[in-house]
Amino acid sequence: MKKILVINGPNLNLLGEREPAVYGDNSLEKINAKISDSAKSLGFETDFFQSNSEGALIDRLHEARLDCAGVILNAGAYTHYSYAIRDAISAIKIPVIEVHLSNVDSREEFRKTSVIAPVCKGSISGFGEYSYLLALDALKFLL
């Protein structure tokens, strides 16, 4: 069974508590459980990783190239300035889908720039936790 890795970056461990009007009421654990169920129905197995550290996110992306068919990545604020995460995505051959809970284009100016978007297969933003489920559908289509 193909494995999909779902990576969440900084501050996303606080989902449910953190700015619920922007990011919703559900915890990351609850969201991951929904992703896992949906992935099963699409014939995927899932692995989940969250870190607040840029280096740990990069290490996990590198590892994913060995045993994952694709990655769903919410890089949090690193999206907007981490050339190191961008290079890690470029370095691996598996498709990476960029996701955001909020509609980053409708918010502050700095959120309108994604330095990772050009090296991701595609980007999904603004659908709350459903963004991750749309990304799963996209991977089903791609793989």
- Summarize as ranges the residues that interact with ligand DQA (CB under 6 A): 11, 74, 76-77, 79, 100-102, 104, 111
Nearer to ligand DQA, 43 or 118 (CB): 118
Given the complex with ligand DQA, which of 50 and 102 has the nearer CB atom?
A: 102
**Residue 116 in contact with residue 92, Cβ under 8 Å?**
no
- Paired tokens of 115: 């330095």
Report, in Å, the least distance between residue 12 CB and ligand DQA. Answer: 6
Beta bridge partners of 122: 97
Shortest Cβ 1–ligand DQA spacing (Å): 27
Exactly one of 23, 80, 83, 132 is catalytic; name it.
23
d(CA 136, CA 130) in angstroms, rounded, equals 10
Which of 78, 100, 130, 132 is an active site residue?
A: 100
In the annotation, is 80 catalytic?
A: no
Is 62 an annotated catalytic residue? no
List the structure tokens of 130: 């459903």
Measured from the CB of residue 15, what is the shortest distance to ligand DQA in angstroms?
A: 9
**End-to-end Cα, the chain, rounded Å:** 12
Taking the complex as a whole, the smallest distance from the CB of residue 5 to ligand DQA amounts, in Å, to 17
| Exposure letters 81-114 (e unless 16+ CB within 10 A, then b) | ebeebbebbeebebbbbbbbbbebeeeeeebeeb
Question: Which of 46/102 has CB closer to ligand DQA?
Answer: 102
Structure-token pair, residue 65: 């190239």
Q: Which is nearer to ligand DQA, 87 or 130 (CB)?
A: 130
Which residues are tagged catalytic?
23, 100
